[in-house]
Amino acid sequence: MLLAIFCLSGCVVFSFYPLYTEKDLFPNDYLLGNFLSKDSIGWNFTHQTKKVKEMDVTDSTGYWLKVDEEMDSSFISTFQVHLIRVDGVLLADFYLDDYTKKKDIRLFDLHIIPVHTFAKVIINGDSLTFRWFNGEWLEKLIKENKVRIRHEYNGDFILLTAKSDELQKFVRKYLNSEDAFKDGLEVKLLRLKK
C-alpha cells in the first residue's frame, strides 16, 4: 500500500537523485526501532552495514526500513533511509531498495523506476512524524513558472532531475512553507515498547 501511495500518487515529490551527499550524513539513532502507524502498519528501522576490511560494520549514517503492510510479513517493502539536517531541520530521504532483488519479476516490476522521496521529520518523545513535500504543490509552482529546478514532466508526473546540492537549495527555500506540505502525505508513527 505504501509503495502504491509513493508510485501512483501526486502527493509526494519524486527525485532521480538523493537529497543528500555523503558529506551531509551523520551518525544517529533517531529512527532506530519498531514503530506502528495508526492504520497498524509496522515500520522497522535498523542501521545499515558496510564492508570494512572484509567485515560487516554498522553504518549509523543510514537505515534499512522494512514496512510490513499486514503485520505478518506477507508483504514487506524495504527502503534505504538517510537523514540530513537543512538549516537545523531534520529531513529523511527514502529510496525503495528491494524492487530489483525479487526472484520472481513480474511485468509490473519491470515498470518501476526507483526514485527518492524526502520528508520533514518531527520527533516528539516516542512519536515520529514524516511530512512529505506535496507533489501537487510543486506541479502548480512549475506550471506558474514560480520555481526553477531541473525536472521532467510527462503530463502525469514530475520527476526532479536536479543534483543533490540543487535539491537542498530548493528544500531550504520552501522548508518553512506550510503550503509545501499542506495536503501532502503525512505518516504518524508510535514507537513500540520493547
Distance in angstroms (rounded) separating the CA atoms of residues 174 and 128: 21
pTM over 0.95: no
Residue 39, amino acid: D
Burial (CB < 10 A; 0-12, 13-18, 19+), residue 129, is middle
Average pLDDT, the chain: 87
Q: Which residue has 520533514 as its cell numbers?
A: 120
pLDDT in the model for residue 55 = 86
CA-atom Rg of the chain in angstroms? 17
Decide: 14 and 135 in contact? Cβ < 8 Å: yes
pLDDT in the model for residue 2 = 47
Distance in angstroms (rounded) separating the CA atoms of residues 66 and 63: 10
pLDDT in the model for residue 128 = 97
pLDDT in the model for residue 6 = 46
Q: How many domains does one find in the chain? A: 1
* Residues 100-132: tens digit of each pLDDT: 555 666 676 666 778 999 999 999 999 999 999
Distance in angstroms (rounded) separating the CA atoms of residues 118 and 82: 9
* Residues 74-106: tens digit of each pLDDT: 677 889 999 999 999 999 999 988 665 556 666
Here the cell at position 130 is 514524516
Q: Which residue has 501512483 as its cell numbers?
A: 8
**Better-predicted residue by pLDDT, 78 or 69:** 78
Decide: 63 and 31 in contact? Cβ < 8 Å: yes
Domain range holding 99? Answer: 2-191
3-class SS shares of the chain: helix, strand, coil, % to 5: 20, 40, 40
pLDDT in the model for residue 97 = 81
Query: Is the pLDDT confidence value at 168 over 50?
Result: yes
Question: Hey, which residues does 45 pair with through a beta bridge?
Answer: 33, 65
Question: How many CB atoms are closer than 10 A to CB 127?
Answer: 12
